[in-house]
Amino acid sequence: MVREVFISYANEDVKIAEDACKYLEQKNITCWIAPRDITPGREYGEAIIDAIENSKALLLIFSEYSNESPHVLREVERAVSKKVPVIAYRISNTTPCKSMEYFLLSNQWLNATDKDNHYEELYSSIIEILGKEEKDEKEEERADDNIVPVKDNKKKSYPLLGTILIFASCLLIFLSVLFIYNNKNKGQVAIGGTDQDIETPIASGGHDNTDTEYIEPTRDSETDREHDNREQKQEDEQNNNKSESGKEDPDSEEQSGKSDTQKEEPSEAQNQRPSVIDKVSVGDYIEFGAYEPQGYSSENADRDIIWLVIDINKEKNQLLLLSHKILDMKPYDVAESGVFDKDSEGNSYDRTIKDTYLFEQMIEFRGNSDWEKSNIRTWLNSDAARVTYKDREPIEKGTDEYENSYELEAGFLHGFTDKEKAMLCEREIITTLNGLEAQKEDKKAFSTDSDSIADTYDFSIYGTKTTKDKVFLLSLEEVQKYLYNNNLIIFAEPTQSAMDSDDSSYYFNSKYWPWSLRTPNGASAHEILAISAGISNTGDFRYYYAPACGLGIRPAITISLEQISFEGEGSKENPFIIAE
């Protein structure tokens, strides 16, 4: 959709940008502002470029933050190159950097730091630009059509006007009668009732705004926990009173299917071992392992990781855990050329011929969305002080903003104890193919125009590959299965240390943060899905480039409960911890 004004701003200034947008739209000036106006399923960067090129003016919210933002500078550069007028709306007394000053030399500045009526002045300036452009467009149309406007002094008559007015009046009367009749019938239905119940669907968290208060799963309430404990105690007493012919082993599906006469005598070890897994429920919290972003000491308050229990496998005595918060901001992968939007020969990405590029070329420009080959998979599964990567290391220039590199960082598991690492279980991870891998194997690749977790996706029809990992990112299918279907919130907050260590210009003012999935966009070889709920009202997830350096990392692990015991209650305030 074409909008008159594109609003460019740094994320620290989002409130001012939204206020300006609201004011202008109340004055009937259409605005384009991210992330509100990004169509679901579109590439973020491409949507920005198209919006700028289709706008009649760019409004720059200029501050110390936008002055340092590479995103904002690129937007201003694009507007200037496309001859879109730029209005620099100064909200702080900041001297423009050399690059910004270069692009804004001949553009209009408005100072909002010492004026009360700055919005009115802004509106007048935009109206002046839009009016001038409208005049220029009309003159061009006249020149093209060779039209010479001629003044007509003859009195005009409209013989059909009376007939049209009479018809419109009759139509209005008819619609009024119909409206009254329908309302009368609706009142009768409301009084008499209906034999159908109206169901209210439970919406996913992704369609709420960031100010919404969310209710944690009822599993955390003390009343429910006491009720569960009483039920567990009764069940234990019943098991102890069973005949000596044997009792069920809760870890064996085969044995649980036998009749009472076929049950085997439990071993002495089974009688003595506490049933730890029966104390845990989906939605509980567990403290396990430690991680600190680069540059933080072991005294960091966020160091101990709190995990959310999202699945329980009693047969294998294992728990599937997802980090409760986002632990860091890192790119999924980097441009294989070593420089974002450059190929291995140094040629720049040309958007005008983007449809001619092969998958392999796009991986050089914008990284690889294949989970098996990704930098983030290698880093998550390493405990080394210096990680060895299979291909291009995650260096700064390979990311979309030249920030948040991690080629020199220790692996994610470096802060785990030997006992904790021994509890980690290797898991078979099934991931849909990206465009390149699907092309090689002649398989169908997953891609969707939807952005809703609530939609149904048949993942069985798509090509997949299997890896074995101890640490991994969730897939879209797993988010649906373990979070959405269990009514667990899909939003995630970053830890304070994750925010403090982030050098990107991504969503600083959001309570919640987008976090990466391992599911690729099968229509490309360089895009991944990420949960965007919390920073956008337009949907639950969207596509991002693999080198997007501001996306959150929310790992998942599987742990074994063999020969351990828990202390704590499993709540956020008092999570389960492994007893010494």
Please provide the DSSP assignment of 184-242 as one string. Answer: HHHHHHHHH--SSPPP-----GGGS-TT---PPPGGGSHHHHHHHHHHHHHHHHHHHTS
186-197 CB burial, b ≥16 within 10 A, e <16: eeeeeeeeeeee
Asked, for residue 176, whether it belongs to a domain, the answer is no
Residue 235's contacts (CB-CB under 8 Å, 6 or more residues apart) are none
- The domain boundary, picked from 144, 166, 191, lies at 144
Q: What is the pLDDT of residue 117?
A: 62
Q: For residue 75, what are the domain limits? A: 5-144
Rounded distance, CA 358 to CA 193, Å? 61
Rounded distance, CA 553 to CA 20, Å? 33
- The domain boundary, picked from 118, 144, 170, lies at 144
Q: How many domains are there within the chain? A: 2
Residue located via tokens 């304070």: 496
Average pLDDT rounded to a whole number, residues 153-164: 48
Q: What percent of the chain has pLDDT over 90?
A: 48
Q: What is the pLDDT of residue 69?
A: 83
Asked, for residue 416, whether it belongs to a domain, the answer is yes
Asked, for residue 327, whether it belongs to a domain, the answer is yes
Tens digit of each residue's pLDDT (9 = 90 or more) over 16-54: 999 999 999 999 999 999 888 887 667 777 788 889 999
Asked, for residue 76, whether it belongs to a domain, the answer is yes
Rounded distance, CA 144 to CA 148, Å? 11
SS (H, E, C) 106-134: CCEEEECCCCCCHHHHHHHHHHHHHHHHH
Rounded distance, CA 122 to CA 89, Å? 8
**Residue 262 pLDDT exceeds 80:** no
Q: What is the pLDDT of residue 539?
A: 62
Asked, for residue 77, whether it belongs to a domain, the answer is yes
Tens digit of each residue's pLDDT (9 = 90 or more) over 61-115: 999 988 888 788 889 988 888 889 999 999 988 888 888 888 887 677 888 766 5
With cut-offs at 50, 70 and 90, classify the pLDDT of residue 227: very low
Asked, for residue 392, whether it belongs to a domain, the answer is yes
Give the SS3 label for residue 70: helix
**Nearest alpha-carbon partner for 322 in 343, 339, 305:** 305
Q: What is the pLDDT of residue 389?
A: 97
Identify the helix (H) or strand (E) that includes residue 168. helix 161-192
Rounded distance, CA 437 to CA 458, Å? 19
Give the amino acid at 81: S
Residue with more model confidence, 412 or 145: 412
Contact indicator for 538, 449 with CB cutoff of 8 Å: no
Domain harbouring 94, CATH code = 3.40.50.10140
**HSE (side-chain half, CA atoms, 13 Å) at 497:** 19
Tens digit of each residue's pLDDT (9 = 90 or more) over 166-206: 666 667 766 665 655 555 444 443 323 333 333 333 333 33
Average pLDDT rounded to a whole number, residues 377-398: 96
pTM of the model: 0.62
**Residue 462 pLDDT exceeds 90:** yes
Backbone angles phi and psi of 476, in degrees to 5: -60, -40
Contact indicator for 78, 53 with CB cutoff of 8 Å: yes
- The domain boundary, picked from 96, 128, 144, lies at 144
Asked, for residue 367, whether it belongs to a domain, the answer is yes
Backbone angles phi and psi of 276, in degrees to 5: -60, -40
Q: What is the pLDDT of residue 220?
A: 42
In 34-192, DSSP assigns E strands to 57-62, 86-90, 108-111
Asked, for residue 150, whether it belongs to a domain, the answer is no
Identify the helix (H) or strand (E) that includes residue 496. helix 496-501
With cut-offs at 50, 70 and 90, classify the pLDDT of residue 219: very low
Residue 37's contacts (CB-CB under 8 Å, 6 or more residues apart) are 1, 3, 47, 51
